[in-house]
Amino acid sequence: MPLLSSSAHRPAAFLFNGHLQTIVPSTLRRVPEVQYQRERLELPDGDFVDMDWSLAGREPARRLCIVSHGLEGDSGRPYVRGMAHALNQAGFDALAWNYRGCGGEPNRLLRAYHLGDTGDLAAVIKHAIEAKNYSEIYLTGFSAGGNVTLKYLGEDAAQVPPQVRRAAVFSVPTDLKASSHHIGRWQNQVYLRRFMVSLRNKMREKAVQLPGQIDLTNLEALRNFPQFDERYTAPMHGFASADAYYEHAASGQYLAGIRVPTLLVNALNDPFLPPSCYPRSTAAASPYFFLETPAAGGHVGFAEGVPSGNYYSERRAVDFFTRAVPG
C-alpha cells in the first residue's frame, strides 16, 4: 500500500516552522549555475510556451525530466533551477517549461494558463518524445505545477505515452476550492498579497495587449483567489464560475486513475494546504500513487541546511526516479 508511513526529511534547525521553511528557501536560496537553452514551442491554437533545456552532458541523455513550476512562477525560480541542477547531476536532462505568459513575454491569446490545463503539458511531452527522441520521460512539479501533473496522469491514463515512466510532485493543492479559501487566512496574507499583485499586473498587461477585451473595473478590489478566479480565470477559460473551475481542475478526483508510479510529498505544516490535500485513503487503495507526509517542509521548501544547501525535494525526486522498486 503506497501510503508511506515515514519520511527521511529533516529540516534545518533554524527553520523551525512552516512559514520559515516556505519563505527562506524562496528568498535566500542561491542555486548553482544552470545553463538553459531556450526553445519556443508553437501550440495548435496559435499560442506558444517557452521551454528551457538543461542538459546533463554535451549530448542529450536518454532520460528527460520535465519540471512544472508553481502559480505565477517560471523556470528561473530557485526551486526549479535547483531541481534541474540535481537532475543533471544524476544524469537526467531537464526541461523546465514556462506556462503561457510566464516566460518573460505575454502570450498571444486572451486565455493564459490555469491549474487544470493539461493540454500544454501534453504538448510539451509529445514534443520531447517526437522531436527530441527521448525514450524515458519523468515528470516533476511544484504546487500548481504538481496539480497539473497529477491531473494529466490520472484524467485519461490511456493517453499517457508509454515513455512516461514515473512522476514526483511536491506541495500540491489537490483540493483547489478548499485551498483557495485556506490561503486567504490572516496568517497567509503575506503570500496571498504577493500572488494578487502578480495576477493583477498580468490583467493590466493583457488589457493593453488586447484593447477592449479585458474589463479592469474594480481590479484593485479583488483581494483573494475566489474573487479573481470568478472575475477572470473562469470566464477567460470557459468555466461558468470559480467553483466550476475548481471542480474541473482539482487533481484529487483523478488520483485513483494514475497508472504510473507517482509520488506526492505534502508537508504537514504546509501553510497553503488544508486537510483535504492529504489524500491518504486514495494512496492506501492505489498500487501506483504514493503519498508521503513529512511533519515539516513548508510550501515548496524542504531545505535541509543553509538556504543554498541540500533540498529534500530534489534528493527525493531523484531517488524515486532511480530506485528499482518505487517507494
The C-alpha cell 548553482 sits at 32
- Looking at the fold, whether 293 and 233 belong to one and the same domain comes out as no
Residue 61 has what pLDDT?
Answer: 78
What's the whole-number mean pLDDT along residues 63-86?
97
- Looking at the fold, whether 160 and 268 belong to one and the same domain comes out as yes
Residue where one domain finishes, among candidates 249, 277, 296: 249
Domain membership flag for residue 50? yes
Domain count, the chain: 2
What's the whole-number mean pLDDT along residues 211-228?
96
Residue 12 has what pLDDT?
Answer: 84
Residue 172 has what pLDDT?
Answer: 98
- Looking at the fold, whether 62 and 146 belong to one and the same domain comes out as yes
What's the whole-number mean pLDDT along residues 258-264?
98
- Looking at the fold, whether 136 and 36 belong to one and the same domain comes out as yes
Cα–Cα dist 291/279, whole Å: 8
- Looking at the fold, whether 41 and 190 belong to one and the same domain comes out as no
Least confident of 18-32, 35-49, 113-127, 146-160: 18-32
Domain membership flag for residue 57? yes
Average pLDDT, rounded, for the chain: 95
Q: Does residue 284 register a pLDDT over 90?
A: yes
Domain membership flag for residue 1? no
Report the Cα 47 to chain-centroid distance in Å. 21
- Looking at the fold, whether 97 and 28 belong to one and the same domain comes out as yes
Domain membership flag for residue 110? yes
| Residue 124 structural domain | 18-175+251-322
**What are residue 232's phi and psi, to 5 degrees?**
-120, -60
> DSSP letter at 230?
I
Residue where one domain finishes, among candidates 249, 266, 282: 249
- Looking at the fold, whether 100 and 25 belong to one and the same domain comes out as yes
Q: Does residue 240 register a pLDDT over 70?
A: yes
- Looking at the fold, whether 102 and 206 belong to one and the same domain comes out as no
Cα–Cα dist 255/268, whole Å: 19
Output the nine-digit C-alpha cell for 293. 507526509
- Looking at the fold, whether 208 and 281 belong to one and the same domain comes out as no
Domain membership flag for residue 7? no
Domain membership flag for residue 271? yes
Domain membership flag for residue 9? no
Q: Does residue 18 register a pLDDT over 70?
A: yes
- Over residues 188-198, the pLDDT tens digits come to 999 999 999 99
Sign of CA dihedral 190, 141, 154, 235: positive
pLDDT band with cut points at 50, 70 and 90 for residue 1: low
* Type of residue numbered 115: L
Residue 327 has what pLDDT?
Answer: 85
- Looking at the fold, whether 265 and 237 belong to one and the same domain comes out as no
Residue where one domain finishes, among candidates 224, 249, 274: 249
Domain membership flag for residue 44? yes
Cite the beta strand spans of 211-257 per DSSP E. Answer: none
Q: What percent of the chain has pLDDT over 70?
A: 100
Q: The domain spanning residue 100 has which CATH number?
A: 3.40.50.1820
- Over residues 290-306, the pLDDT tens digits come to 999 999 999 999 999 88
Strand pairing partners for 53?
A: 37, 95
User: Does pTM surpass 0.85?
Assistant: yes
- Looking at the fold, whether 169 and 299 belong to one and the same domain comes out as yes
What's the whole-number mean pLDDT along residues 230-236?
97
- Looking at the fold, whether 186 and 150 belong to one and the same domain comes out as no
Q: Does residue 30 register a pLDDT over 60?
A: yes
